[in-house]
Amino acid sequence: MALRVAPLSAPTIGWGLSASPNLLPLRSLGIVAAIGLALILNGTVESLSGNQATGVACLALLVFGLPHGSLDIALLRNQSKLNGWQVLTAVLAYLGCAALVYVVWHETPVLALAAFLCIACIHFAEDWTAAQPPFFALATASAVLTLPALLHQKMMGEIFVRLTGNATASVLADFAKMAAPVALVAAIVGVVVAWRGRRTTEAIETATILLGMIFLPPIIGFAAFFCLSHSPRHFAAAKNSFRGDRRHLNFEALTLTVAGLGIAALIYASARQGLPDDKMIVASFITLSILTVPHILVPRLFARQRLRSIEGGITRERPLYQTAQSSHGKI
């Protein structure tokens, strides 16, 4: 008797654009309005790149950015039917991975920053795999991270130096400026592909994000993308991937988000830099970094383990995190 095997792949954390189709137009409108207003202010108010605006943007990254990974353990528990010991193992894996990333930041901050940018690029590319071919999705993510260097290279380099406490980190801004034109051209092609594929809303949203990353101060532009597009997209998709009763999910997300804010507070208090705005940059971006790595890796490790455990069965279950299917494939 032939076995019927449904495909199972390692999960991606970017569940995809189709995870929340009803919210997509509203979210896109919000992005257009917010970045449009910020662009207007950028031409008339120099303080948009000042310490106060930077501090607010960093705080927004934590408050509105952390929740999108707060349901990872709940999804692992729910969809893989983990017992108590397995849940504990997952939690310890998250904490161990986060601790390791923090050690790397502490010992070699420039290397940690470079690695984080590469990991973030791969992670952000998942946002566009449903609307664009994988190459153009990766190019769009690369553009999001490199475009600020086109008009704000010096500012971007200063942010990297403030983040790492090392003057050599400004070299990463130089690399970003060299890569930005190529990434932008490929990202524009991706927007055209999405438009021609009748992904009109996604195309407009992506084009607006790219404009924001070019013209806005780096942290403001990144906060707009992360808080208005990336985080709500993933949080909604995570809730949609949950099987069964979802009533407790918001409480669990709030609890773990508060825990993440506690980590940020500890990093803020122990930051080497003395100025409050520098410490805020350090706290927000290092916290995002040490939580992003386990957010990406741990579910994949559990998925691979789950695949091995059901080898030889009659059927293979669907991926732990349901990703929007695209005719173009996956990153």
pLDDT in tens, 61-101: 998 888 888 888 877 777 666 667 777 888 888 888 899 99
125, 129, 204, 215, 329 from 139: Cα distances, Å: 8, 11, 17, 19, 15
Residue 49 C-beta-side C-alpha neighbours within 13 Å = 17
Alpha-carbon gap, residue 80 to 82, rounded angstroms = 5
Q: Which phi and psi (to 5°) does residue 282 adopt?
A: -60, -50
Q: Which residue has the tokens 């994988």?
A: 134
List, for residues 230-259, the tens digit of each pLDDT value: 888 888 887 777 776 666 777 878 888 888
What's the start-to-end Cα distance of the chain, in Å?
Answer: 34
Alpha-carbon gap, residue 247 to 72, rounded angstroms = 16
Angle separating helix axes 276-309 and 51-65, nearest 10 degrees: 20
This prediction's pTM: 0.79
List, for residues 90-135, the tens digit of each pLDDT value: 888 888 889 999 999 989 999 999 999 999 999 999 888 877 888 9
